[in-house]
Chains A and B, each alone.
Chain A
Amino acid sequence: MALLAIVVAAAPIGFTNSYFYDVGVNAMFNAIVCVGLNLLIGYAGQISLGHAGFFALGAYGSALLTTMYNVPPIGALTISALVVGLLAFVVGRPILKLKGHYLAMATLGIGIIIHIVLKTESKFTGGPDGMSLDNFKMLGFTVMGDRMWYWVAGVLLILAVWLALNLIDSPVGRALRAVHGSEVGAEVVGVDTSSYKVLVFVVSAVFASVVGSLFAHKNGFITPDIGSFFGSVHLVTMVVLGGMASVFGAVVGAVILTLLPQVLASVEQYEAMILGVIMMGTMIFMPKGLLPSLLAKLKSREAGR
């Protein structure tokens, strides 16, 4: 936790221009979504291939409310998060009864439906052309520029990690891990498994929605493609690559997968191939994910000494 704070605070020393800040903000935004998603995937053991949809709903919620109804940004963010949370609650009940690949299919379907609606309802959303919105203003204070966003995102990331760590250590967290271990077993010892699964689904959707709203304000312009199937796959990959059931693993995965395309941009043509190889290679040789595998290695080396 302290280490994360130091890294966030110290990273800008190496930032020579605002481009670095921009990438940094995106990495931390992704990290926050992944911390939420990791609660669902890593701890409760439920997959979601539709979280980019919730992210996009948050973004579009903020865009619509601030531009068309003059709602202040913080209000728009809250309303969007509430609506997304409610939606996740309503669809979560029937969906989370499904298991494994059926759940993957259902969440994927929801993500794709959201994406298509955003793309088609051009009266409200501008369709594939996207829509633009204003800076984030609160109490007469405007967040703008990559530098300021960097610090806002940094603080929020630390807050999100702190929340997640606390949740995991609470009775709720223990119940979730029990669900992951054995759902029937958890039920037998009196865990209301479906409520817990829905709860964590809602929490992770709200994380995604809030970040979506912020992302929209920071970029000033959004298109429906932020909610595409690939967005969702990207998020899940970050969580799994970094390390499931590890809050910091999710952060590491998000940072790596956000930086990777920037690094690979120089070999543009081969970007997809290299990304594919890295995804396969990491999962084959470190099936538990980067961070847990590396930590385990460190530990065994120390034990060997």
Chain B
Amino acid sequence: MFAAFLQYLFSGLTSGAIYALAGLGFAIIYNASHVINFAQGEFIMIGGMASATLVAAGVPMPLAIVLALLISMAVGVALEKFAIEPARNADVVTIIIITIGASIFLRGATQIILDKEFHSLPAFSGETPIGVMGATLMPQSLWVFAVAAVMIVGLWWFFNRTMFGKAMLATSHNRLAAQLVGVGVKKVLLASFALSALLGAVGGVVVTPITFTNYEAGIMLGLKGFSAAVLGGLGNGGGAIIGGLIVGIVEALASGYLSSAYKDAIAFVIILFVLFFMPNGLFGKRGTDRV
């Protein structure tokens, strides 16, 4: 009974950690530019696909992973430079369509450059399950938790302790004021896309040994990441992390105790429910309208 619960909890935490990283990616771009990047899931997919393909081609795994992260960041920067920046003054819906167009484009490109098959990576440290009070935990799940935690601590350090990170925070609070005190807002925008792409790709790489990946894998992961970011309150980094973990755990418990067919639906039901009562997510700032 308890063992089963623990088992669901482990699997929920594993996917929750990935959602949290994706959610953070949404939050970072949203803070820097007020854009919701619907191509966020594609970064996860590119990270997984590129590393898997490189490893299959004989590149040693650590090098393949670094290359995959760099490719993903390059895609993120290109997306900002060629698609978002030229349309900076457009409507919210217009920019949403641009990022959706970008995600369709990236999926199409992956499908041609790589292929349509499912790929996997070997687990980082073997596949011997670890027994924990009757439940089993794959070593790769521990990698997912650890890497996610390292990323989160790294981000905290970056935003609170480095000059450039503080500049990015300043831009998110008040773009004009930041510009006036000498922050290079354009550089901040580019950095935010590179950082989100990195977060997504890291998530994609560590989760690929567990879930496999193909050119369409980014769609649902991206939507879950968006859910995590909205649930926690848009633009709130801590909120996105908690939102991601909630979505992951709820989903795993629902598929375990209710029905696996409805696991995706239940995550969205919870989000709707939260939004009904807290229109700005769990930890979102109350928005005010200027008339």
Given contacts A102-B280, A283-B98, are A240 and B93 in contact (CB under 8 A)? yes
Alpha-carbon distance A119/B265, docked complex (angstroms): 11
CB-CB under 8 A from A297, the residues of chain B are: none
Q: Is the interface of B mostly helix, strand, loop or mixed?
A: helix
Q: Which residues of A contact B (CB under 8 A)?
A: 41, 47, 94-95, 97-102, 104-106, 108-110, 112-113, 116-117, 119-120, 182-185, 188, 229, 233, 236-237, 240-241, 244, 269-280, 283-284, 287
CB-CB under 8 A from A274, the residues of chain B are: 108
- Of the listed stretches B10-18, B62-70, B142-150, B266-274, name the one at the interface; the rest are far from the partner chain: B266-274
Given contacts A101-B230, A101-B234, A182-B291, are A109 and B100 in contact (CB under 8 A)? no
Query: 27 pairs across A/B with beta carbons < 8 Å?
Result: A99-B287, A101-B230, A101-B234, A102-B280, A105-B230, A109-B272, A112-B268, A113-B265, A116-B262, A182-B291, A184-B291, A188-B291, A229-B219, A229-B223, A269-B112, A271-B108, A272-B105, A272-B111, A275-B105, A276-B103, A276-B104, A276-B107, A277-B101, A279-B101, A280-B98, A287-B90, A287-B94
Q: Are the CB atoms of B234 and A102 closer together than 8 Å? A: yes
CB-CB under 8 A from A100, the residues of chain B are: 92
Closest 4 CB pairs of A and B: A276-B105, A272-B108, A279-B101, A273-B108
Residues in B114-171 with C-beta less than 8 Å from chain A: none
CB distance from B224 to the nearest CB of A (A): 11
Given contacts A110-B272, A244-B91, are A273 and B105 in contact (CB under 8 A)? yes
Q: Are the CB atoms of B234 and A109 closer together than 8 Å? A: no
Given contacts A104-B96, A108-B223, are A277 and B265 in contact (CB under 8 A)? no
Q: Are the CB atoms of A287 and B264 closer together than 8 Å? A: no
Alpha-carbon distance A197/B222, docked complex (angstroms): 29
Q: Are the CB atoms of B100 and A106 closer together than 8 Å? A: no
Alpha-carbon distance A51/B261, docked complex (angstroms): 22
CB distance from A193 to the nearest CB of B (A): 11
Q: Are the CB atoms of B101 and A109 closer together than 8 Å? A: no
Given contacts A47-B93, A99-B287, A269-B112, are A279 and B104 in contact (CB under 8 A)? yes
Q: Are the CB atoms of A270 and B275 closer together than 8 Å? A: no
Whether B2 sits at the interface, judged by CB under 8 Å, is: no
